[in-house]
């Protein structure tokens, strides 16, 4: 693979049922590229959690996945409310999700910790009232 | 444990992918919170849940799970079953409650441990 491959997705913030479609597609693409199964699982879980977060908290956004020879980069960008306290948001169990979201199986305060757990590096760039961009790397 | 044994032990109704009932599984987890499920990486895992929405199928797909058991008589929609079929995930439903279903499988040998990343 000489040139990095770039996959771009718009994440619909209006439809909880369809959340995860981008992650599903990325999983298929990585399989076709022959990426090891364990790596695919890490990438897809991290991206899926991010997608769910964008739908729950930020009314959607965009997801870009860049596949190069040495790494897979996942960039999730939204124009949501931003994260006022990143340290707090990274704690397992901390969540601002509503009871309705919890009844759908998410909002347990595991999203961001899981994203960090399954990737090699994760950076959060956020501004309250402007939005959040999360960049994650999984090395090949 | 074969998936067919899970069906028999839980007296469950299989809704799709009957061709995969001979597949062996070694681990399982029971939860209604999908983010808790996503915390653990396992191989050949079974998901038992009382949650019934499309994200259950997606979660199982992301985790490379091969079987979903809906407890408490929960019946997935046709769309959910179709999504599972696309990923070759066996879906079944049982009238047993979560505690009993998990306990039954554990007592019959499905005791594989999760692997933390």
We report the CATH number of the domain holding residue A63 as 3.30.565.10
Mean pLDDT of A102-108: 88
- Answer whether B55 sits within 8 Å of A16, measured CB to CB: yes
- Answer whether A105 sits within 8 Å of B51, measured CB to CB: yes
Beta strand pairing status for A71-78 and A60-67?
antiparallel
Confidence of residue B17 (pLDDT cuts 50, 70, 90): very high
User: Among B35, B51, B55, whose Cβ lies nearest the Cβ of A20?
Assistant: B55
Residues of chain B found within 8 Å of residue A19, distances taken between Cβ atoms: 55, 58
CA B18 to each of CA B4, B6, B85, B90, B91: distance values in angstroms, whole numbers, following the listed order: 9, 13, 10, 7, 9
pLDDT digits (tens, 9 = 90+) for A60-98: 999 999 999 999 999 999 999 999 999 999 999 898 888
CATH topology of domain B3-107: 3.40.1390
- Answer whether B35 sits within 8 Å of A117, measured CB to CB: no
pLDDT at A17: 85
Residues of chain A found within 8 Å of residue B66, distances taken between Cβ atoms: none
Cβ pair B4, B19 in contact under 8 A: no
- Looking at residue B24, the DSSP 8-state letter turns out to be B
* Average pLDDT of chain B, as a whole number: 92
Mean pLDDT of A15-43: 94
* Count of domains observed in chain A: 1
CB proximity A57 to B under 8 Å: no
Confidence of residue B42 (pLDDT cuts 50, 70, 90): low
Lowest mean pLDDT among A42-56, A116-130, B40-54: B40-54
- Answer whether A27 sits within 8 Å of B61, measured CB to CB: yes
pLDDT digits (tens, 9 = 90+) for A112-130: 999 999 999 999 999 999 9
Confidence of residue A52 (pLDDT cuts 50, 70, 90): very high
Indicate if the pLDDT at residue B115 is higher than 60: no
Which helix H or strand E contains A100, and what residues bound it? helix A99-103
Indicate if the pLDDT at residue B4 is higher than 80: yes
pLDDT digits (tens, 9 = 90+) for B56-68: 999 999 999 999 9
Residues of chain A found within 8 Å of residue B33, distances taken between Cβ atoms: 102, 105-106, 108, 110
- The residue extents of the domains of chain B are 3-107
CB atoms within 10 A of CB A82: 17
Cβ pair B16, B84 in contact under 8 A: yes
Mean pLDDT of B48-77: 96
Domain with A98, as residue range(s), is 5-139
Indicate if the pLDDT at residue A35 is higher than 70: yes
Q: Which ipTM was obtained for this model?
A: 0.87
């Amino acid at each position: 693979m000489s040139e990095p491959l770039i996959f771009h997705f718009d994440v619909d913030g209006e439809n909880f049922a369809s959340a995860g479609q981008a992650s599903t597609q990325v999983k298929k693409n990585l399989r076709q590229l022959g990426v090891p199964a364990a790596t695919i699982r890490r990438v897809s879980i991290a991206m899926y959690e991010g997608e769910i977060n964008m739908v729950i908290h930020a009314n959607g956004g965009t997801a870009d996945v860049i596949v190069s020879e040495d790494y897979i980069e996942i960039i999730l960008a939204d124009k949501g409310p931003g994260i006022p306290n990143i340290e707090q948001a990274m704690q397992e169990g901390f969540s601002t999700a509503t009871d309705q979201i919890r009844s759908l199986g998410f909002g347990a305060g595991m999203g961001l910790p899981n994203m960090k757990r399954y990737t090699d590096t994760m950076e959060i760039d956020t501004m309250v009232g402007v939005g959040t961009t999360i960049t994650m790397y999984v090395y090949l | 444990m074969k998936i067919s044994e899970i069906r028999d032990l839980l007296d469950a109704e299989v809704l799709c992918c009957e061709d995969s009932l001979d597949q062996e599984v070694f681990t399982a987890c029971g939860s209604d919170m999908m983010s808790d499920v996503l915390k653990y990486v396992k191989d050949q895992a079974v998901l038992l849940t009382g949650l019934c929405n499309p994200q259950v199928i997606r979660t199982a797909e992301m985790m490379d799970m091969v079987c979903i058991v809906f407890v408490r008589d929960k019946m997935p929609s046709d769309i959910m079953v179709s999504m599972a079929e696309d990923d070759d995930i066996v879906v079944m439903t049982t009238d047993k409650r979560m505690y009993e279903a998990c306990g039954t499988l554990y007592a019959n040998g499905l005791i594989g441990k999760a692997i933390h990343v």
